[in-house]
Amino acid sequence: MPAAISMPCHDLPVRLLRQGAIFLLLAGLALLSAGTATGVSAAEQLQTPNIIYILADDLGYGDIGCYGQKIMKTPRIDRLAAEGMRFTEHFSGAAMCAPTRSCLMTGQHTGHTRVRVNGHGPLLEEDVTMGEVLQQAGYRTGVIGKWGIGEAGTTGVPWKQGFDHFFGYLNQSNAHHYYPPFLWRNDEKVLYPDNPEKRTHYSHDEFTRDAEEFIRENQKRPFFLYLAYTLAHVDLDVPDDDLQAWIGKIEETKPYGTPGGQHYRYQPTPHAAFAGMVSRLDRSVGRIVDLVDELGLTQNTLIIFTSDNGPTSAGGADPRFFDGNGPFRGIKFELYDGGIRCPMIARWPGKIAKGSETDHLSAHWDMLPTAAELAGAEAPSGIDGLSFLPTLLGEGQQAKHDYLYWETESRSGWQAMRRGQWKAHLANVANPKSTTFELYDLSADIAEATNVAADHPEVSQEMKRLLASARTVPQGNREILAVTPPKKKQQGKAKPPGAKKGKPFKDGQ
């Protein structure tokens, strides 16, 4: 009998790892063979789905055909809805750009998330983002487009917040212009020195090309692509092919601005420009979907399309003409539903029923726990979001929010809450003596037109209590609901004899 071969104990784990690797390799080959036999690609044999999250900018609930738009055409986005699920009660994280993105990334509403207003402070190192959760779960993570929650040199930049790849704008204000002198690729600037004058690189098109490249490069592994488009945010600016397609075919308004005279670009045909921007956005969404299908990733890729808040009236944009906020009151910067209710469409063939619709109450901060569940990862503790995966799949028990909460600096500090049929608003929070409270019954008044607070004192009292307890004071960032200290009486010189009451006077009068 041959002598037994002795194997040291410390070599045993190595042996087991090698055996495990061989087993996984054989299993993978078996899956590949099975997939070939059934016509399903190897990528689609993966159990962990790819996630593509497309975020439009300032695109209202009513700006899309499948949500009631009558003037502009959005055939590719409408087709996405026909092939998937349309949400009718999905809400943005906030009524403006930066806090919405903070809510999306952290899974927290505006009363808890780090960034609660535009232009004030980045995400911090301790903030756990959707990028970090998915990166740690083995995903290749990318964000392309507008970031807006961390400038260069801060802790909030994408490559410090869980993203392997970034291409786009870090700064909100820079993202207002579609022919920029530079964009960021991770921590390096990509220069377009002649772009503002010669208009050679339309940033939206650059984002679509980069997104296609990201998908191609990562098609054989699970990936998460956060495609944060800047269309249809002003400037009202679109390449000539899409502009000319609408000139003369749509009722026009007066030109916006004067050449070189304001922050947002002069636009002689604002309606045609906006419609052209929406058309280009629609085609770009179609390009992304077509590529996913072309690469055989259809059955293993969840595509979500939504917007960051309601439509804007800045820069010549005209939501009244296009009925951009649909049947709702309010626009961007306002917490009425027109400012925060967003279109959302989810497509995942074989998993999500075609042409389905849901009134499940959800918000941007629900995306993080949904993505975590899809990836088999654990969502951070203490977040406000709830996974809506059971709603997407039409199976299992869907957890429900007790309420949704928002806050913003508009109206001298403004809080809003949705709870069941009720929508409450508390405005002028910074001036307690002038605070106003509104209560709307959305089951009878979807336009938030009739304040019924006086008719429902018990509901009003409970909503006020919840509004007071729903938030925390932000740490490391600006407090937007701070009470304004009373103005001190000016200590000036006594009025000269004979001075009239209320009339200003100068020294020596």
Residues 354 and 454 in one domain: no
3-state secondary structure 56-119: ECCCCHHHCHHHCCCCCCCHHHHHHHHCCEEEEEEECCCCCHHHHHHHHHHCCCCCCCCCCCCC
CA distances 178 to 97, 203, 279, Å, are 17, 5, 16
Positive/negative CA dihedral, 408, 414, 417, 421 = negative
Q: Which amino acid is at 347?
A: R
Q: Closest Cα partner for 45 from 33, 56, 31?
A: 31
Task: Please state the rounded mean pLDDT for residues 457-472.
Answer: 97
Residues 330 and 435 in one domain: no
Residues 162 and 266 in one domain: yes
Residues 81 and 170 in one domain: yes
The DSSP bridge partners found for residue 458 are none
Residues 389 and 411 in one domain: no
Q: Which amino acid is at 353?
A: A
Contact yes or no for 109/404 (Cβ under 8 A): yes
Say if 30 falls within a structural domain. Answer: no
Highest mean pLDDT among 46-55, 120-129, 358-367, 468-477: 358-367
> Global pTM?
0.86
Q: Which amino acid is at 69?
A: Q
Q: Is residue 378 scored above 90 in pLDDT?
A: yes
Runs of H (alpha helix) within 295-346: 319-322, 337-340
Task: Please state the rounded mean pLDDT for residues 302-321.
Answer: 98
The better pLDDT of the pair 5, 460 is held by 460
Confidence of residue 53 (pLDDT cuts 50, 70, 90): very high
Percent of the chain with pLDDT over 70: 86
Which of 351, 380, 400 represents a domain boundary (last residue)? 400
Residues 310 and 452 in one domain: no
Q: Is residue 273 scored above 70 in pLDDT?
A: yes
Contact yes or no for 85/71 (Cβ under 8 A): no
CA distances 124 to 108, 151, 168, 173, 478, Å, are 14, 12, 20, 21, 13
Residues 393 and 431 in one domain: no
Say if 21 falls within a structural domain. Answer: no
Largest CA distance in the chain: 126
pLDDT of residue 488: 56
Q: How far apart (Å, rounded) are the C-alpha atoms in residues 93 and 114?
A: 12
Positive/negative CA dihedral, 317, 320, 325, 326 = negative
pLDDT of residue 21: 40
Residues 57 and 185 in one domain: yes
Q: Closest Cα partner for 241 from 204, 280, 289, 267?
A: 280
Question: What is the domain extent for residue 68?
Answer: 46-400
The better pLDDT of the pair 401, 29 is held by 401
Say if 491 falls within a structural domain. Answer: no
Q: How far apart (Å, rounded) are the C-alpha atoms in residues 123 and 107?
A: 13
Residues 440 and 417 in one domain: yes
Say if 485 falls within a structural domain. Answer: no
Contact yes or no for 176/129 (Cβ under 8 A): no
Weakest-pLDDT range from 113-127, 139-153, 394-408: 113-127
DSSP string, 39-57: T--TGGG-SSPEEEEEEES
Q: Closest Cα partner for 448 from 471, 470, 417?
A: 417
- 235 preceded by cis ω (within 30°)? yes
The CATH number that applies at residue 122 is 3.40.720.10
pLDDT digits (tens, 9 = 90+) for 173-207: 899 999 999 999 999 999 999 999 999 999 999 99
Residues 321 and 413 in one domain: no
Q: Helices 270-294 and 203-217 sit at what angle, rounded to 10 degrees?
A: 10
Which of 368, 400, 432 represents a domain boundary (last residue)? 400
Contact yes or no for 105/149 (Cβ under 8 A): yes
Contact yes or no for 334/64 (Cβ under 8 A): no
Tokens representing 246?
A: 């609408």
Which of 400, 430, 453 represents a domain boundary (last residue)? 400
The CATH number that applies at residue 426 is 3.30.1120.10
pLDDT of residue 206: 98
Confidence of residue 477 (pLDDT cuts 50, 70, 90): confident
Contact yes or no for 202/179 (Cβ under 8 A): yes
pLDDT, mean over the chain: 88
Q: Is residue 97 scored above 80 in pLDDT?
A: yes
Confidence of residue 8 (pLDDT cuts 50, 70, 90): very low
- State phi, psi for 438 to the nearest 5 degrees: -130, 145
Say if 319 falls within a structural domain. Answer: yes
Contact yes or no for 451/467 (Cβ under 8 A): no
Say if 249 falls within a structural domain. Answer: yes
Task: Please state the rounded mean pLDDT for residues 245-274.
Answer: 95
Query: Which helix H or strand E contains 29, and what residues bound it?
Result: helix 12-38
pLDDT digits (tens, 9 = 90+) for 421-447: 999 999 999 998 999 999 999 999 999
Task: Please state the rounded mean pLDDT for residues 382-397.
Answer: 96
Q: How far apart (Å, rounded) are the C-alpha atoms in residues 130 and 146?
A: 16
Report the 10 Å Cβ neighbour count for 236: 28
Q: Is residue 19 scored above 50 in pLDDT?
A: no
Q: Is residue 7 scored above 80 in pLDDT?
A: no
Say if 12 falls within a structural domain. Answer: no
pLDDT of residue 1: 38
Q: How far apart (Å, rounded) are the C-alpha atoms in residues 179 and 296?
A: 34
Q: Which amino acid is at 358?
A: T
Q: How far apart (Å, rounded) are the C-alpha atoms in residues 367 and 363?
A: 8
Positive/negative CA dihedral, 391, 393, 395, 396 = negative
The better pLDDT of the pair 416, 483 is held by 416
Q: Say how many domains are in the chain.
A: 2
Percent of the chain with pLDDT over 90: 80
Q: How far apart (Å, rounded) are the C-alpha atoms in residues 458 and 453?
A: 9
Residues 342 and 415 in one domain: no
Q: How far apart (Å, rounded) are the C-alpha atoms in residues 279 and 437?
A: 40
Q: Is residue 372 scored above 60 in pLDDT?
A: yes
Going by the DSSP 8-state scheme, the letter that residue 146 receives in this structure is: E
Residues 308 and 417 in one domain: no
Give the side-chain half-sphere CA count within 13 A for 446.
8
Say if 478 falls within a structural domain. Answer: no
